[in-house]
């Protein structure tokens, strides 16, 4: 089974930047798909972006042009570089992985506020 550990969340001002990292453990090879979802209070969990082991990216329209997803396959690590953050980006961000099955991290809080 895959274990996912996120880091990099925190408090940032509107227009600021943040980089999230997620390290996967418990699998020998490269994970098929890794990515990020987020959930704001009172809202459903939604896709942010995913990237497969070949580099193919799926990204939500709400973050296109502002967020960049990348991965380091040998380390089974996925990153989310977030630029021009808005208050509506405030959410718990969950790392996601799909290989044999679906795995979720515990989440890291991102708060965008003055």
Residue for token pair 């990099």: 8
- The confidence score (pLDDT) of residue 61 equals 97
Tell me how far CA of residue 12 lies from CA of 6, 18, 32, 48, in angstroms: 17, 8, 31, 18
Q: What is the C-alpha to C-alpha distance for residues 91 and 98, in angstroms, rounded to an integer?
A: 22
Q: What is the C-alpha to C-alpha distance for residues 108 and 4, in angstroms, rounded to an integer?
A: 11
pLDDT tens figures, 84-93 = 999 999 999 9
Q: What is the C-alpha to C-alpha distance for residues 86 and 8, in angstroms, rounded to an integer?
A: 17
pLDDT tens figures, 39-85 = 999 999 999 999 999 999 999 999 999 999 999 988 999 999 999 99
Q: Which of these, 101, 98, 113, lies nearest to 47 by C-alpha position?
A: 98
- The confidence score (pLDDT) of residue 17 equals 98
């Amino acid at each position: 089974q895959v274990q996912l550990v996120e880091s990099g969340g925190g408090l940032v001002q509107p227009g600021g930047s943040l980089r999230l990292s997620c390290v996967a453990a418990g699998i020998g090879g490269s994970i098929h798909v890794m990515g990020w979802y987020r959930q704001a209070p009172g809202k459903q969990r939604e896709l942010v972006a995913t990237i497969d082991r070949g580099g193919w990216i799926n990204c939500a329209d709400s973050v296109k042009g502002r967020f960049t997803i990348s991965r380091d396959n040998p380390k089974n690590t996925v990153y989310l570089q977030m630029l021009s953050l808005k208050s509506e980006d405030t959410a718990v961000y969950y790392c996601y992985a799909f290989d044999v099955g679906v795995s979720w991290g515990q989440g890291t809080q991102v708060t965008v506020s003055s």
